[in-house]
Amino acid sequence: MAWRTNDIPDLTGRRAVVTGVTGGLGLHTALGLARKGADLVVTARDARKASDTVDRIRNEVPSASVDVVSLDLADLADARRAASEVSSTYDRIDILVNNAGIMLTPDSRTADGFELQMGTNHIGHFAWTAGLWPLLDASAARVVTVSSIAHTSAGSIDLSTLTPQGSARRYKSWRSYGESKLANLMFALELDRRAKASGSPVVSVAAHPGYASTNLTKTGPSVGGLSLPGVGMHQITKIIGQPASHGAWPLLMAATDPSLTGGEYVGPAGFNGMRGRPKLVGMTKVARDEELADDLWEASEAATGVTFAM
């Protein structure tokens, strides 16, 4: 039987934290969890957009409990501050969905000097999750990291992109995006391995939305100014991509399916993993490279200055 949102168990009394909820996958993931009774903590960079998102969630789920935490993953100090705020405010986190991200940006840097896509999609989430780790561990939480079918385009990860000096390679937005999403997937798998080795009850699962119609294809290329290619790509995606609500299905399955024990990867079952109901899916050989994953972890600790207290 194909997984459906009706399969999500009752989440009353459980707290879910979702990053990047001002549209697309994050919004629909938050809605799916709220409909099953989860208390939400959502993050966003833009306070106005966050307010609009909360209004929409409460309009669709009048009983929803929704708190907002400001989080800019492109600023490590802010990621650490936000994690500290969440840890000091709440007594538990049952589900963490690391969804926020950026796609196909021009050559840009984070506040700490990292290439923007790797810095936001992976490095920022690494620091944020590390800051939450004691609470996640104490809560026996489920951590979902959102990757992409674009991870298949990356044959490896140039670890110099995890330094402020950056890579000596010529910048290519597609390559950087693919490597950042490979880093997301490898982080999820390595977090699972380390959690199990330390005896932690945390379950780490990865998911990807297939080819979903979200604002990523417009906002990323338009960083620094309007991008006509980005606008064109966005219009094409709106036509041929599956709705963002469907793209959220793998994230919701990864976050709530009790049969998942850690280390799984969930994505659409349809043509080339681009659309359809969610299921367990495969990944590239490099994504399963434990030596590279260990090196990525060490590089991430060096980049962020934080460690997981396992």
Active site residues: 177
User: What secondary structure, in 3-state letters, does the chain show?
Assistant: CCCCHHHCCCCCCCEEEEECCCCHHHHHHHHHHHHCCCEEEEEECCHHHHHHHHHHHHHHCCCCCEEEEECCCCCHHHHHHHHHHHHHHCCCCCEEEECCCCCCCCCCECCCCCEHHHHHHHHHHHHHHHHHHHHHHHHCCEEEEECCHHHHHCCCCCHHHHCCCCCCCCCCHHHHHHHHHHHHHHHHHHHHHHHHHHCCCCEEEEECCCCEECCHHHHCCCCCCCCHHHHHHHHHHHHHCEEHHHHCHHHHHHHHCCCCCCCCEEEECCHHHCCCCEEECCCCCHHHCHHHHHHHHHHHHHHHCCCCCC
Say how far apart CA 256 and CA 243 lie, in whole Å.
21
Structure tokens at 252: 């919701």
Q: Give the number of other CB atoms < 10 A from CB of residue 152.
A: 18
